[in-house]
Amino acid sequence: MQVARVVGNVVATRKDVRLHGATLLILQPLTAAGRTSGRSIVGVDAAGAGVGEEVVVVRGREASLPFAPRVVPTDATVVGIVDPRTRAARR
Amino acid sequence: MLLAKVVGTVVATRKDERLVGHKLLLVHPVDPHGKPSGAPIVAVDTVDAGSGETVLIVSGSSARMAADLADTPVDAAIVGVVDSAALEE
CA distance A27 to A45: 10
Is-above-0.95 flag for pTM?
A: no
- CB atoms A16 and B83 under 8 Å: no
Kindly state whether B17 is in contact with chain A, defined as any CB-CB distance less than 8 angstroms.
no
Contact B77/B44 with Cβ under 8 angstroms?
yes
Give the chain B residue whose CA is nearest to the CA of A77.
B1
CA distance A66 to A83: 20
Give the containing element (helix H, strand E) for A86. Answer: helix A84-90
The predicted-structure confidence for B15-67, as pLDDT tens digits, reads as follows 999 999 999 999 999 999 999 999 999 999 999 999 999 999 999 999 999 97
The reply to whether ipTM tops 0.85 is yes
Kindly state whether A65 is in contact with chain B, defined as any CB-CB distance less than 8 angstroms.
no
